[in-house]
Chains A and B, each alone.
Chain A
Protein backbone atom coordinates (compact mmCIF):
# COMPACT_ATOMS: atom_id res chain seq x y z
CA UNK A 1 0.00 0.00 0.00
CA UNK A 2 1.46 3.36 -0.92
CA UNK A 3 1.20 6.07 1.69
CA UNK A 4 1.83 9.73 2.28
CA UNK A 5 3.67 10.78 5.41
CA UNK A 6 2.30 13.80 7.25
CA UNK A 7 4.67 15.49 9.70
CA UNK A 8 4.16 18.64 11.73
CA UNK A 9 6.74 19.95 14.18
CA UNK A 10 6.37 21.91 17.39
CA UNK A 11 9.66 23.55 18.21
CA UNK A 12 10.51 25.27 21.48
CA UNK A 13 13.53 27.55 21.62
CA UNK A 14 14.88 29.36 24.66
CA UNK A 15 15.55 33.01 23.96
CA UNK A 16 18.99 34.52 24.53
CA UNK A 17 18.05 36.84 27.37
CA UNK A 18 20.05 37.41 30.51
CA UNK A 19 16.99 37.06 32.73
CA UNK A 20 13.74 35.13 32.87
CA UNK A 21 10.51 36.17 31.17
CA UNK A 22 8.77 37.64 34.22
CA UNK A 23 11.51 38.17 36.83
CA UNK A 24 15.18 39.11 37.10
CA UNK A 25 16.53 35.61 37.83
CA UNK A 26 19.38 34.45 35.62
CA UNK A 27 18.72 32.11 32.68
CA UNK A 28 22.29 30.82 32.63
CA UNK A 29 22.56 27.10 31.89
CA UNK A 30 24.19 24.75 34.37
CA UNK A 31 23.83 26.74 37.61
CA UNK A 32 23.57 24.77 40.89
CA UNK A 33 20.03 23.43 41.46
CA UNK A 34 17.47 25.95 42.69
CA UNK A 35 19.99 28.79 42.85
CA UNK A 36 18.25 30.98 40.25
CA UNK A 37 14.72 31.32 41.59
CA UNK A 38 12.71 33.99 43.34
CA UNK A 39 9.17 34.40 44.70
CA UNK A 40 7.90 35.28 41.17
CA UNK A 41 9.19 32.20 39.33
CA UNK A 42 8.53 29.93 42.32
CA UNK A 43 4.88 30.93 42.10
CA UNK A 44 4.57 32.47 45.58
CA UNK A 45 1.19 34.05 46.27
CA UNK A 46 1.03 37.82 45.93
CA UNK A 47 3.82 38.16 43.38
CA UNK A 48 3.34 39.78 39.99
CA UNK A 49 5.04 38.94 36.69
CA UNK A 50 6.45 41.79 34.55
CA UNK A 51 7.33 41.13 30.90
CA UNK A 52 10.99 41.14 29.88
CA UNK A 53 11.34 43.75 27.09
CA UNK A 54 14.25 41.95 25.43
CA UNK A 55 12.39 38.60 25.40
CA UNK A 56 9.47 40.18 23.58
CA UNK A 57 11.80 41.97 21.18
CA UNK A 58 13.69 38.73 20.35
CA UNK A 59 10.38 36.95 19.78
CA UNK A 60 9.29 39.57 17.28
CA UNK A 61 12.66 39.35 15.54
CA UNK A 62 12.29 35.58 15.21
CA UNK A 63 8.74 35.84 13.92
CA UNK A 64 9.68 38.52 11.36
CA UNK A 65 12.57 36.32 10.20
CA UNK A 66 10.06 33.45 9.85
CA UNK A 67 7.92 35.65 7.59
CA UNK A 68 5.09 35.71 10.12
CA UNK A 69 2.33 38.28 10.28
CA UNK A 70 2.82 40.21 13.52
CA UNK A 71 -0.33 40.98 15.46
CA UNK A 72 -0.70 44.67 16.37
CA UNK A 73 -2.22 43.61 19.72
CA UNK A 74 -1.34 40.53 21.72
CA UNK A 75 -2.10 39.15 25.16
CA UNK A 76 -1.16 36.24 27.42
CA UNK A 77 -3.26 33.45 28.88
CA UNK A 78 -3.05 30.92 31.66
CA UNK A 79 -2.74 27.29 30.65
CA UNK A 80 -3.79 25.34 33.71
CA UNK A 81 -2.32 21.96 34.57
CA UNK A 82 -0.75 20.30 37.56
CA UNK A 83 2.78 19.01 37.40
CA UNK A 84 5.63 19.34 39.91
CA UNK A 85 7.81 21.28 37.47
CA UNK A 86 5.19 24.04 37.27
CA UNK A 87 5.02 25.74 40.67
CA UNK A 88 2.16 28.15 39.82
CA UNK A 89 0.02 25.25 38.52
CA UNK A 90 -0.41 27.23 35.34
CA UNK A 91 1.90 28.22 32.55
CA UNK A 92 1.70 31.74 31.18
CA UNK A 93 1.35 31.19 27.45
CA UNK A 94 -0.61 32.60 24.53
CA UNK A 95 -3.89 31.11 23.40
CA UNK A 96 -6.19 32.95 21.04
CA UNK A 97 -4.19 36.09 20.32
CA UNK A 98 -0.59 34.96 19.70
CA UNK A 99 1.77 37.74 18.68
CA UNK A 100 2.47 36.11 15.31
CA UNK A 101 0.96 33.74 12.75
CA UNK A 102 1.10 32.59 9.12
CA UNK A 103 4.82 32.35 8.52
CA UNK A 104 7.02 30.23 6.32
CA UNK A 105 10.49 28.74 6.22
CA UNK A 106 12.48 27.56 3.24
CA UNK A 107 14.19 24.19 3.62
CA UNK A 108 16.79 22.39 1.50
CA UNK A 109 16.84 18.64 1.03
CA UNK A 110 18.41 16.31 -1.53
CA UNK A 111 15.17 16.79 -3.50
CA UNK A 112 15.67 20.56 -3.75
CA UNK A 113 14.16 23.44 -1.84
CA UNK A 114 10.63 23.72 -0.43
CA UNK A 115 8.71 26.19 1.66
CA UNK A 116 7.12 24.91 4.87
CA UNK A 117 4.24 26.87 6.37
CA UNK A 118 4.32 28.05 9.96
CA UNK A 119 0.98 28.26 11.76
CA UNK A 120 2.11 30.50 14.59
CA UNK A 121 4.89 31.44 16.96
CA UNK A 122 4.06 32.50 20.48
CA UNK A 123 5.93 33.53 23.63
CA UNK A 124 5.55 31.53 26.84
CA UNK A 125 7.48 30.54 29.95
CA UNK A 126 9.46 27.34 30.35
CA UNK A 127 8.81 24.86 33.18
CA UNK A 128 11.36 23.50 35.66
CA UNK A 129 13.40 20.36 35.22
CA UNK A 130 12.53 16.96 36.70
CA UNK A 131 15.09 14.34 37.56
CA UNK A 132 14.19 10.85 38.59
CA UNK A 133 15.65 9.63 41.82
CA UNK A 134 15.78 5.90 42.23
CA UNK A 135 17.78 5.77 45.41
CA UNK A 136 16.94 3.74 48.51
CA UNK A 137 14.12 1.78 46.92
CA UNK A 138 12.08 4.94 46.41
CA UNK A 139 11.05 6.22 43.05
CA UNK A 140 10.82 9.89 43.81
CA UNK A 141 11.29 12.77 41.44
CA UNK A 142 13.61 15.69 42.10
CA UNK A 143 12.73 19.16 40.92
CA UNK A 144 15.06 22.00 39.91
CA UNK A 145 13.19 25.25 39.28
CA UNK A 146 16.10 27.20 37.73
CA UNK A 147 14.60 26.80 34.26
CA UNK A 148 11.13 27.83 35.42
CA UNK A 149 10.11 31.05 33.74
CA UNK A 150 12.83 31.04 31.07
CA UNK A 151 11.47 32.74 27.92
CA UNK A 152 10.42 30.16 25.39
CA UNK A 153 9.32 30.69 21.83
CA UNK A 154 7.00 27.98 20.53
CA UNK A 155 7.00 27.65 16.74
CA UNK A 156 4.28 25.44 15.27
CA UNK A 157 4.65 24.27 11.67
CA UNK A 158 1.89 23.30 9.30
CA UNK A 159 1.63 19.49 8.94
CA UNK A 160 3.45 19.84 5.62
CA UNK A 161 6.62 17.83 5.88
CA UNK A 162 6.48 14.56 3.96
CA UNK A 163 9.72 12.84 4.93
CA UNK A 164 11.94 12.54 7.98
CA UNK A 165 14.66 14.21 5.91
CA UNK A 166 12.41 17.27 5.49
CA UNK A 167 11.79 17.40 9.24
CA UNK A 168 15.53 17.32 9.80
CA UNK A 169 16.07 20.06 7.20
CA UNK A 170 13.35 22.17 8.83
CA UNK A 171 15.07 21.95 12.23
CA UNK A 172 18.43 22.76 10.68
CA UNK A 173 16.93 25.76 8.91
CA UNK A 174 15.30 27.04 12.13
CA UNK A 175 18.53 26.55 14.05
CA UNK A 176 20.60 28.37 11.42
CA UNK A 177 18.12 31.23 11.18
CA UNK A 178 17.72 31.79 14.92
CA UNK A 179 21.45 31.53 15.57
CA UNK A 180 22.21 33.94 12.76
CA UNK A 181 19.89 36.61 14.12
CA UNK A 182 21.01 35.99 17.71
CA UNK A 183 17.61 34.97 19.05
CA UNK A 184 18.64 31.61 20.50
CA UNK A 185 21.77 29.48 20.65
CA UNK A 186 19.62 26.45 19.77
CA UNK A 187 21.72 23.89 21.65
CA UNK A 188 19.67 20.70 21.69
CA UNK A 189 22.02 19.11 24.23
CA UNK A 190 21.36 21.95 26.65
CA UNK A 191 17.64 21.97 25.88
CA UNK A 192 17.59 25.43 24.32
CA UNK A 193 16.02 23.86 21.21
CA UNK A 194 13.44 21.13 21.77
CA UNK A 195 11.14 19.41 19.36
CA UNK A 196 7.93 17.39 19.42
CA UNK A 197 6.86 15.75 16.18
CA UNK A 198 3.31 14.90 15.15
CA UNK A 199 3.24 12.19 12.54
CA UNK A 200 0.75 9.93 10.80
CA UNK A 201 0.21 8.22 7.48
CA UNK A 202 -2.43 8.59 4.79
CA UNK A 203 -2.60 5.18 3.15
CA UNK A 204 -3.98 5.01 -0.39
CA UNK A 205 -7.16 3.00 -0.93
CA UNK A 206 -8.34 1.45 -4.21
CA UNK A 207 -11.21 3.99 -4.40
CA UNK A 208 -8.77 6.92 -4.40
CA UNK A 209 -9.39 7.93 -0.81
CA UNK A 210 -6.83 7.66 1.99
CA UNK A 211 -7.00 5.97 5.39
CA UNK A 212 -5.46 8.15 8.10
CA UNK A 213 -3.57 6.34 10.84
CA UNK A 214 -3.99 7.83 14.35
CA UNK A 215 -1.66 10.79 14.93
CA UNK A 216 1.29 10.09 17.22
CA UNK A 217 3.10 12.88 19.00
CA UNK A 218 6.72 11.83 19.44
CA UNK A 219 8.40 13.42 22.43
CA UNK A 220 11.86 13.33 23.97
CA UNK A 221 13.68 14.22 20.75
CA UNK A 222 17.05 15.51 21.88
CA UNK A 223 19.09 15.61 18.69
CA UNK A 224 18.30 16.55 15.11
CA UNK A 225 19.55 13.14 14.00
CA UNK A 226 17.24 11.63 16.64
CA UNK A 227 14.25 13.42 15.10
CA UNK A 228 15.04 11.90 11.72
CA UNK A 229 15.58 8.42 13.15
CA UNK A 230 12.45 8.56 15.34
CA UNK A 231 10.26 9.64 12.44
CA UNK A 232 11.60 6.95 10.14
CA UNK A 233 10.98 4.36 12.84
CA UNK A 234 7.49 5.69 13.59
CA UNK A 235 6.46 5.67 9.93
CA UNK A 236 7.39 1.99 9.59
CA UNK A 237 5.72 1.18 12.90
CA UNK A 238 2.44 2.85 11.93
CA UNK A 239 2.36 1.12 8.54
CA UNK A 240 2.90 -2.29 10.19
CA UNK A 241 0.39 -1.54 12.96
CA UNK A 242 -2.29 -0.56 10.44
CA UNK A 243 -1.78 -3.68 8.37
CA UNK A 244 -1.76 -5.95 11.42
CA UNK A 245 -4.82 -4.40 13.08
CA UNK A 246 -6.90 -4.28 9.88
CA UNK A 247 -6.08 -7.91 9.19
CA UNK A 248 -7.04 -9.04 12.69
CA UNK A 249 -10.24 -7.00 12.59
CA UNK A 250 -9.25 -5.03 15.70
CA UNK A 251 -9.23 -1.85 13.63
CA UNK A 252 -11.76 -0.88 11.01
CA UNK A 253 -11.85 1.85 8.44
CA UNK A 254 -14.51 4.21 9.74
CA UNK A 255 -16.33 5.45 6.64
CA UNK A 256 -18.96 7.15 8.78
CA UNK A 257 -16.49 9.95 9.63
CA UNK A 258 -15.00 11.07 6.31
CA UNK A 259 -12.75 14.11 6.32
CA UNK A 260 -10.65 16.19 4.01
CA UNK A 261 -6.93 16.89 3.98
CA UNK A 262 -5.69 19.51 1.54
CA UNK A 263 -7.30 18.43 -1.75
CA UNK A 264 -8.17 14.81 -1.02
CA UNK A 265 -10.51 12.73 1.12
CA UNK A 266 -9.41 10.85 4.20
CA UNK A 267 -11.16 8.37 6.47
CA UNK A 268 -10.10 7.60 10.05
CA UNK A 269 -9.60 4.34 11.90
CA UNK A 270 -11.96 3.01 14.56
CA UNK A 271 -11.38 0.35 17.18
CA UNK A 272 -13.81 -2.55 17.50
CA UNK A 273 -14.92 -2.98 21.09
CA UNK A 274 -15.97 -6.22 22.72
CA UNK A 275 -19.67 -5.36 22.31
CA UNK A 276 -19.19 -4.84 18.57
CA UNK A 277 -19.48 -1.05 18.62
CA UNK A 278 -16.82 1.14 17.04
CA UNK A 279 -14.82 3.73 18.92
CA UNK A 280 -12.52 6.31 17.34
CA UNK A 281 -8.81 5.75 17.99
CA UNK A 282 -7.53 8.97 19.47
CA UNK A 283 -4.19 10.69 19.21
CA UNK A 284 -1.43 9.27 21.42
CA UNK A 285 1.98 10.34 22.61
CA UNK A 286 5.12 8.27 22.18
CA UNK A 287 8.54 8.59 23.73
CA UNK A 288 11.66 8.19 21.62
CA UNK A 289 14.35 6.01 23.14
CA UNK A 290 17.57 7.12 21.48
CA UNK A 291 19.52 4.23 22.98
CA UNK A 292 17.45 1.40 21.51
CA UNK A 293 16.25 3.41 18.52
CA UNK A 294 12.52 2.88 19.11
CA UNK A 295 9.41 4.90 19.83
CA UNK A 296 7.31 3.63 22.73
CA UNK A 297 3.61 4.51 22.44
CA UNK A 298 2.28 5.75 25.77
CA UNK A 299 -1.38 5.86 26.67
CA UNK A 300 -3.91 7.21 24.21
CA UNK A 301 -5.79 10.25 25.42
CA UNK A 302 -9.49 9.53 25.70
CA UNK A 303 -10.36 13.18 25.50
CA UNK A 304 -8.51 16.29 24.47
CA UNK A 305 -6.55 17.84 27.32
CA UNK A 306 -8.54 20.47 29.13
CA UNK A 307 -6.20 23.27 30.01
CA UNK A 308 -9.00 25.72 30.86
CA UNK A 309 -7.23 28.65 29.26
CA UNK A 310 -8.24 32.10 30.41
CA UNK A 311 -6.73 35.57 29.97
CA UNK A 312 -3.81 36.24 32.34
CA UNK A 313 -5.03 39.02 34.60
CA UNK A 314 -1.54 39.80 35.97
CA UNK A 315 -0.10 40.85 32.60
CA UNK A 316 -1.31 43.69 30.44
CA UNK A 317 -1.54 43.31 26.66
CA UNK A 318 1.27 44.42 24.37
CA UNK A 319 0.94 46.41 21.16
CA UNK A 320 3.35 46.43 18.22
CA UNK A 321 3.50 49.29 15.74
CA UNK A 322 4.87 49.51 12.20
CA UNK A 323 7.81 51.66 13.34
CA UNK A 324 9.16 48.85 15.49
CA UNK A 325 8.62 46.27 12.75
CA UNK A 326 10.36 48.44 10.15
CA UNK A 327 13.28 48.93 12.52
CA UNK A 328 13.53 45.19 13.18
CA UNK A 329 13.32 44.33 9.49
CA UNK A 330 16.18 46.69 8.81
CA UNK A 331 18.33 45.40 11.64
CA UNK A 332 17.81 41.73 10.82
CA UNK A 333 19.89 42.08 7.69
CA UNK A 334 20.11 39.36 5.07
CA UNK A 335 18.56 36.07 6.18
CA UNK A 336 19.87 32.64 5.09
CA UNK A 337 17.29 32.05 2.33
CA UNK A 338 17.90 35.46 0.74
CA UNK A 339 21.63 35.01 1.10
CA UNK A 340 21.46 31.63 -0.61
CA UNK A 341 19.55 33.13 -3.54
CA UNK A 342 21.99 36.04 -3.84
CA UNK A 343 25.03 33.77 -3.85
CA UNK A 344 23.53 32.06 -6.89
CA UNK A 345 22.47 35.20 -8.76
CA UNK A 346 25.39 37.48 -7.92
CA UNK A 347 28.25 34.98 -8.04
CA UNK A 348 26.83 32.35 -10.39
CA UNK A 349 27.24 29.59 -7.79
CA UNK A 350 25.27 26.36 -8.09
CA UNK A 351 22.40 25.80 -5.65
CA UNK A 352 24.54 23.15 -3.98
CA UNK A 353 27.56 25.42 -3.46
CA UNK A 354 25.41 28.34 -2.33
CA UNK A 355 23.68 25.99 0.13
CA UNK A 356 26.95 24.77 1.61
CA UNK A 357 28.18 28.35 2.10
CA UNK A 358 24.96 29.80 3.51
CA UNK A 359 24.50 26.89 5.93
CA UNK A 360 27.82 27.92 7.51
CA UNK A 361 26.34 31.27 8.45
CA UNK A 362 26.79 34.94 7.64
CA UNK A 363 30.38 35.32 8.79
CA UNK A 364 31.34 32.46 6.51
CA UNK A 365 29.52 33.96 3.54
CA UNK A 366 31.20 37.31 4.24
CA UNK A 367 34.57 35.52 4.14
CA UNK A 368 33.67 33.95 0.81
CA UNK A 369 32.67 37.30 -0.65
CA UNK A 370 36.00 38.90 0.24
CA UNK A 371 37.88 35.96 -1.30
CA UNK A 372 35.71 35.96 -4.44
CA UNK A 373 36.02 39.70 -5.00
CA UNK A 374 39.77 39.70 -4.33
CA UNK A 375 40.57 36.87 -6.74
CA UNK A 376 37.87 37.61 -9.29
CA UNK A 377 36.84 33.95 -9.64
CA UNK A 378 33.85 33.11 -7.44
CA UNK A 379 33.69 29.46 -8.48
CA UNK A 380 37.36 28.90 -7.64
CA UNK A 381 36.98 30.83 -4.39
CA UNK A 382 34.03 28.60 -3.46
CA UNK A 383 35.99 25.43 -4.32
CA UNK A 384 38.92 26.45 -2.15
CA UNK A 385 36.65 27.41 0.73
CA UNK A 386 34.50 24.29 0.62
CA UNK A 387 37.30 21.79 -0.09
CA UNK A 388 40.23 23.21 1.79
CA UNK A 389 39.30 25.96 4.21
CA UNK A 390 36.33 24.09 5.66
CA UNK A 391 38.53 21.03 6.35
CA UNK A 392 41.16 23.25 7.98
CA UNK A 393 38.53 24.81 10.23
CA UNK A 394 36.96 21.45 11.06
CA UNK A 395 40.32 19.84 11.84
CA UNK A 396 41.25 22.68 14.15
CA UNK A 397 37.68 23.02 15.49
CA UNK A 398 37.73 26.71 14.67
CA UNK A 399 34.97 29.14 13.89
CA UNK A 400 35.38 31.21 10.74
CA UNK A 401 35.87 34.26 12.95
CA UNK A 402 39.09 32.67 14.21
CA UNK A 403 40.20 31.54 10.76
CA UNK A 404 44.02 31.34 10.63
CA UNK A 405 44.08 32.57 7.02
CA UNK A 406 42.65 36.03 6.34
CA UNK A 407 40.15 36.12 3.46
CA UNK A 408 42.34 38.64 1.60
CA UNK A 409 45.28 36.22 1.75
CA UNK A 410 43.23 33.34 0.36
CA UNK A 411 41.99 35.65 -2.42
CA UNK A 412 45.62 36.59 -3.23
CA UNK A 413 46.62 32.93 -3.25
CA UNK A 414 43.89 31.99 -5.72
CA UNK A 415 44.79 34.92 -7.98
CA UNK A 416 48.47 34.05 -7.85
CA UNK A 417 47.83 30.37 -8.58
CA UNK A 418 46.06 31.37 -11.77
CA UNK A 419 48.63 33.97 -12.73
CA UNK A 420 51.62 31.66 -12.53
CA UNK A 421 49.84 28.41 -13.37
CA UNK A 422 50.68 26.68 -10.10
CA UNK A 423 49.36 23.11 -9.98
CA UNK A 424 46.96 22.02 -7.24
CA UNK A 425 49.51 20.08 -5.26
CA UNK A 426 51.92 23.03 -5.13
CA UNK A 427 49.06 25.40 -4.44
CA UNK A 428 48.00 23.36 -1.43
CA UNK A 429 51.57 23.36 -0.20
CA UNK A 430 51.62 27.16 -0.37
CA UNK A 431 48.19 27.33 1.32
CA UNK A 432 49.37 25.20 4.26
CA UNK A 433 52.57 27.21 4.51
CA UNK A 434 50.69 30.51 4.56
CA UNK A 435 48.58 29.25 7.46
CA UNK A 436 51.62 28.01 9.39
CA UNK A 437 53.82 31.06 8.85
CA UNK A 438 51.28 33.82 8.35
CA UNK A 439 53.31 35.02 5.37
CA UNK A 440 51.86 36.42 2.17
CA UNK A 441 51.50 34.24 -0.93
CA UNK A 442 54.39 36.09 -2.63
CA UNK A 443 56.69 35.54 0.33
CA UNK A 444 55.90 31.82 0.48
CA UNK A 445 56.29 31.30 -3.26
CA UNK A 446 59.58 33.17 -3.30
CA UNK A 447 60.90 31.19 -0.37
CA UNK A 448 59.88 27.87 -1.89
CA UNK A 449 61.28 28.85 -5.27
CA UNK A 450 58.02 28.12 -7.05
CA UNK A 451 59.00 30.34 -9.97
CA UNK A 452 57.12 29.58 -13.14
CA UNK A 453 59.32 28.58 -16.07
CA UNK A 454 58.03 30.88 -18.77
CA UNK A 455 61.10 31.04 -20.97
CA UNK A 456 60.21 29.08 -24.14
CA UNK A 457 63.89 28.49 -24.99
CA UNK A 458 64.53 27.00 -21.58
CA UNK A 459 61.48 24.78 -21.97
CA UNK A 460 62.52 23.76 -25.50
CA UNK A 461 65.87 22.66 -24.15
CA UNK A 462 64.15 20.59 -21.48
CA UNK A 463 61.81 19.03 -24.04
CA UNK A 464 64.75 18.01 -26.18
CA UNK A 465 66.48 16.58 -23.11
CA UNK A 466 63.32 14.64 -22.28
CA UNK A 467 63.07 13.20 -25.78
CA UNK A 468 66.68 12.10 -25.61
CA UNK A 469 66.19 10.47 -22.21
CA UNK A 470 62.99 8.60 -23.13
CA UNK A 471 63.80 6.73 -26.31
CA UNK A 472 61.30 3.95 -25.57
CA UNK A 473 58.42 6.38 -25.10
CA UNK A 474 59.44 8.20 -28.26
CA UNK A 475 59.44 4.91 -30.20
CA UNK A 476 56.01 4.02 -28.78
CA UNK A 477 54.71 7.43 -29.76
CA UNK A 478 56.01 6.99 -33.26
CA UNK A 479 54.12 3.65 -33.45
CA UNK A 480 50.92 5.56 -32.80
CA UNK A 481 50.62 5.36 -29.01
CA UNK A 482 49.82 9.00 -28.43
CA UNK A 483 49.61 8.40 -24.70
CA UNK A 484 53.33 7.76 -24.63
CA UNK A 485 53.82 11.54 -24.96
CA UNK A 486 52.58 11.92 -21.37
CA UNK A 487 55.63 10.09 -20.03
CA UNK A 488 57.94 12.50 -21.87
CA UNK A 489 55.92 15.47 -20.68
CA UNK A 490 56.11 14.13 -17.11
CA UNK A 491 59.90 14.26 -17.36
CA UNK A 492 59.75 17.97 -18.19
CA UNK A 493 57.33 18.68 -15.36
CA UNK A 494 59.59 16.90 -12.87
CA UNK A 495 62.61 18.83 -14.09
CA UNK A 496 60.73 22.11 -13.54
CA UNK A 497 59.22 21.06 -10.21
CA UNK A 498 55.82 21.31 -11.85
CA UNK A 499 56.35 24.97 -12.62
CA UNK A 500 56.21 24.74 -16.39
CA UNK A 501 53.06 25.74 -18.25
CA UNK A 502 51.66 22.40 -19.36
CA UNK A 503 50.11 23.79 -22.53
CA UNK A 504 53.41 25.27 -23.67
CA UNK A 505 55.21 22.01 -22.90
CA UNK A 506 52.60 20.03 -24.82
CA UNK A 507 52.91 22.31 -27.85
CA UNK A 508 56.72 22.24 -27.86
CA UNK A 509 56.80 18.50 -27.32
CA UNK A 510 54.52 17.73 -30.26
CA UNK A 511 56.57 20.05 -32.48
CA UNK A 512 59.81 18.33 -31.46
CA UNK A 513 58.42 14.81 -31.76
CA UNK A 514 57.32 15.60 -35.29
CA UNK A 515 60.93 16.34 -36.10
CA UNK A 516 62.22 13.01 -34.71
Chain B
Protein backbone atom coordinates (compact mmCIF):
# COMPACT_ATOMS: atom_id res chain seq x y z
CA UNK B 1 0.00 0.00 0.00
CA UNK B 2 1.43 3.36 -1.00
CA UNK B 3 -0.18 5.42 1.77
CA UNK B 4 0.38 4.83 5.48
CA UNK B 5 -2.30 5.38 8.13
CA UNK B 6 -0.31 8.41 9.41
CA UNK B 7 -0.30 10.02 5.98
CA UNK B 8 -4.05 9.55 5.71
CA UNK B 9 -4.47 11.07 9.19
CA UNK B 10 -2.48 14.11 8.12
CA UNK B 11 -4.47 14.57 4.91
CA UNK B 12 -7.71 14.15 6.88
CA UNK B 13 -6.48 16.73 9.36
CA UNK B 14 -5.71 19.21 6.56
CA UNK B 15 -9.20 18.60 5.16
CA UNK B 16 -10.71 19.11 8.64
CA UNK B 17 -12.15 15.58 8.61
CA UNK B 18 -12.43 13.50 11.75
CA UNK B 19 -12.02 9.83 10.90
CA UNK B 20 -12.18 6.74 13.10
CA UNK B 21 -9.33 4.20 12.95
CA UNK B 22 -11.53 1.91 10.84
CA UNK B 23 -12.23 4.76 8.42
CA UNK B 24 -8.53 5.63 8.30
CA UNK B 25 -7.77 2.03 7.30
CA UNK B 26 -10.49 2.07 4.65
CA UNK B 27 -9.31 5.42 3.28
CA UNK B 28 -5.73 4.22 3.22
CA UNK B 29 -6.75 1.33 0.96
CA UNK B 30 -8.94 3.44 -1.32
CA UNK B 31 -6.61 6.43 -1.58
CA UNK B 32 -3.66 4.10 -2.16
CA UNK B 33 -5.42 2.72 -5.22
CA UNK B 34 -5.63 6.28 -6.63
CA UNK B 35 -2.04 7.07 -5.75
CA UNK B 36 -0.90 3.77 -7.29
CA UNK B 37 -2.71 4.68 -10.49
CA UNK B 38 -0.96 8.09 -10.57
CA UNK B 39 2.35 6.39 -9.92
CA UNK B 40 1.65 4.20 -12.91
CA UNK B 41 1.20 7.35 -15.02
CA UNK B 42 4.40 8.75 -13.53
CA UNK B 43 6.34 5.83 -15.00
CA UNK B 44 5.59 7.03 -18.55
CA UNK B 45 8.55 8.71 -20.21
CA UNK B 46 7.56 12.36 -20.85
CA UNK B 47 10.93 13.61 -22.14
CA UNK B 48 10.29 16.22 -24.79
CA UNK B 49 6.59 16.51 -23.97
CA UNK B 50 5.50 20.06 -23.16
CA UNK B 51 3.90 20.48 -19.70
CA UNK B 52 0.14 20.85 -19.82
CA UNK B 53 -1.38 23.63 -17.70
CA UNK B 54 -4.99 22.89 -18.56
CA UNK B 55 -6.84 19.97 -20.11
CA UNK B 56 -8.64 22.27 -22.53
CA UNK B 57 -6.69 23.96 -25.29
CA UNK B 58 -8.65 27.21 -24.85
CA UNK B 59 -7.09 30.29 -23.30
CA UNK B 60 -7.72 34.02 -22.73
CA UNK B 61 -11.34 33.84 -21.68
CA UNK B 62 -12.45 37.05 -19.99
CA UNK B 63 -15.55 38.83 -18.83
CA UNK B 64 -15.89 42.61 -18.99
CA UNK B 65 -15.74 44.67 -15.79
CA UNK B 66 -19.47 45.37 -15.71
CA UNK B 67 -21.43 45.10 -12.45
CA UNK B 68 -24.43 42.81 -12.17
CA UNK B 69 -27.07 42.65 -9.45
CA UNK B 70 -25.92 40.67 -6.42
CA UNK B 71 -28.03 38.40 -4.26
CA UNK B 72 -30.16 40.12 -1.63
CA UNK B 73 -28.54 39.47 1.77
CA UNK B 74 -31.51 37.38 2.90
CA UNK B 75 -31.01 35.05 -0.04
CA UNK B 76 -27.22 34.96 0.32
CA UNK B 77 -27.62 34.00 3.98
CA UNK B 78 -30.45 31.51 3.41
CA UNK B 79 -28.18 28.49 3.91
CA UNK B 80 -26.23 29.89 6.84
CA UNK B 81 -26.38 27.55 9.87
CA UNK B 82 -26.22 30.61 12.12
CA UNK B 83 -26.40 34.33 11.53
CA UNK B 84 -26.51 37.61 13.36
CA UNK B 85 -28.20 40.39 11.46
CA UNK B 86 -26.83 40.15 7.95
CA UNK B 87 -23.61 38.48 9.05
CA UNK B 88 -22.80 34.78 9.00
CA UNK B 89 -22.05 33.68 12.54
CA UNK B 90 -19.33 31.07 13.01
CA UNK B 91 -17.65 29.51 16.04
CA UNK B 92 -14.64 31.46 17.30
CA UNK B 93 -11.51 30.83 15.29
CA UNK B 94 -8.15 30.49 16.97
CA UNK B 95 -5.09 30.43 14.79
CA UNK B 96 -5.62 28.66 11.51
Q: Which residues of B contact A56 (CB under 8 A)?
A: 62
Say whether, besides A33-B86, A35-B86, A319-B60, A83 and B66 are in contact (CB < 8 Å): no
Q: Which residues of A contact B59 (CB under 8 A)?
A: 316-319
User: Which residues of chain B (3-52) have a CB below 8 Å from chain A?
Assistant: 14-16
Q: Which residues of A contact B16 (CB under 8 A)?
A: 82
- Closest CB in chain A relative to B36 CB, distance in Å: 19
- Closest CB in chain B relative to A28 CB, distance in Å: 9
A42 on the interface (CB 8 Å rule)? Answer: yes
Report how many A-B pairs have Cβ atoms within 8 Å: 129
- Closest CB in chain B relative to A398 CB, distance in Å: 31
Q: Classify the secondary structure of A's interface with B.
A: loop
A36 on the interface (CB 8 Å rule)? Answer: yes
Interface size on A, residues (CB 8 A): 53
**Pairwise interchain contact B76-A34, C-beta atoms closer than 8 A:** yes
**Contact partner, B54, options A25, A132, A140, A311, Cβ 8 Å:** A311
**Pairwise interchain contact A144-B87, C-beta atoms closer than 8 A:** yes
Q: Which residues of B contact A39 (CB under 8 A)?
A: 71
Q: Which residues of A contact B56 (CB under 8 A)?
A: 316
**Pairwise interchain contact B91-A140, C-beta atoms closer than 8 A:** yes
**Pairwise interchain contact B53-A142, C-beta atoms closer than 8 A:** no
A417 on the interface (CB 8 Å rule)? Answer: no
**Pairwise interchain contact B84-A53, C-beta atoms closer than 8 A:** no
Contact with B along A100-137 (1 / 0, CB 8 A): 00000000000000000000000000000011110000
**Pairwise interchain contact B54-A50, C-beta atoms closer than 8 A:** no
**Pairwise interchain contact A141-B90, C-beta atoms closer than 8 A:** yes
**Pairwise interchain contact A299-B95, C-beta atoms closer than 8 A:** yes
Closest A residue to B68 using CB positions = A24
A245 to B19, CA, bound (A): 41
Q: List 17 A-B contacts (CB under 8 A).
A: A18-B66, A19-B66, A19-B68, A24-B66, A24-B68, A32-B86, A39-B71, A54-B65, A82-B15, A83-B93, A84-B93, A130-B93, A140-B91, A143-B89, A144-B87, A313-B54, A316-B59
Listed from nearest, the 3 A-B pairs whose CB atoms lie closest are A24-B68, A54-B65, A53-B62
